[in-house]
Amino acid sequence: MGSPPVKGFGQGDPALAAWAEAVYAPEDEVLREIRERSEAAGLPPVQVGRFDGLHLEVLARAAGARRAVEIGTLGGYSGVCLLRGMGPEGILHTFEFDPRHAEVARESFARAGVAGRAVIHVGRALERLRDVEAGGPFDLVFVDADKGGYPAYLAWAEVHLRVGGLLLADNTFGFGHVHDPSGAGEDAPAMAPLRAFSERLARSGRFRATILPTAEGLSVGVKIG
């Protein structure tokens, strides 16, 4: 048997997924508590998947990130993952529009023991991002807020990431519809911006980028110029 001559894009076998969960244990007690408390507080259950959280931690660690920006905090699940990857020197500036979400995240950062390294900025990200620009350039930017805003967040990252810095973005498969020009499906108005985001990330020459075929699509770009 062996591998097929042309390898596919992802891996959808549930038995392999169960095996990977058991061996790599992507979600510990702290993250499980954050997910459950966020849901109990009425937040939408849209934090990154367990494996995406682990990807974020490992990618932040591989990048040696010390100064990072997250756009879209929710209850702090992905922020805790990033901060774990950044180690004791790492600082995360995370941006959240909804003050109720920010309150849940504040508690999450405290429980995870990272409150001293997490700065939550409440307000529309595009308005608040300028508050941290003087503290840049940044080592890592993770984009996970309103999907229509992705092109503008990428434009910000092009300026405020250092060369060699990492751009990460969740949901770049557009809930399965990013490639569908008919404009049908979930969050339809966001599909054109999500397409524009990937086209610019992949083709602008400012990044060398790929898209990891996670359930949601996780774009990863290294700034090269």
Residues that bind Mg ion (CB under 5 A): 144, 170-171
The Cα-based distances of 69 to 7, 22, 211 in angstroms read 34, 31, 20
The candidate with the shortest Cα–Cα distance to 128, out of 81, 161, 90, 95, is 95
Q: Which of 5, 4, 74 is nearest to 34 (CA)?
A: 74
Q: CB under 5 to 8 A by kind: which of Mg ion, ligand DHB, ligand SAH, none does 78 bind?
A: ligand SAH
Alpha carbons 187 and 172: distance in angstroms, whole number: 12
Q: Name which of residues 76 to 135 contact ligand DHB (CB under 6 A).
A: none
> Using CB under 6 A, which residues numbered 39 to 68 contact ligand DHB?
46
Among 90, 95, 170, 191, the residue binding ligand DHB under the rule CB under 6 A is: 170
Stretch that binds ligand SAH, among 3-11, 24-32, 74-82, 183-191 (CB under 6 A): 74-82
In angstroms, give the least distance from the CB of 30 to ligand DHB: 20
Q: Which of residues 87-146 bind ligand SAH (CB under 6 A)?
A: 95-98, 101, 124-125, 144-146
Among 94, 171, 172, 219, binds ligand DHB (CB under 6 A): 171
Q: Taken in order 47, 169, 178, 54, is the CA torsion positive or negative?
A: negative
State both tokens at 111.
Answer: 């429980």
CB of 210 to ligand SAH, least distance (A): 20
Residue 97 contacts which entry, Mg ion, ligand DHB, ligand SAH, none (Cβ below 5-8 A, type-dependent): ligand SAH
**Residues at the contact surface with ligand DHB, assessed by CB under 6 A:** 46, 144, 170-171, 216
**Residues at the contact surface with ligand SAH, assessed by CB under 6 A:** 46-48, 72, 74, 77-78, 95-98, 101, 124-125, 144-146, 149
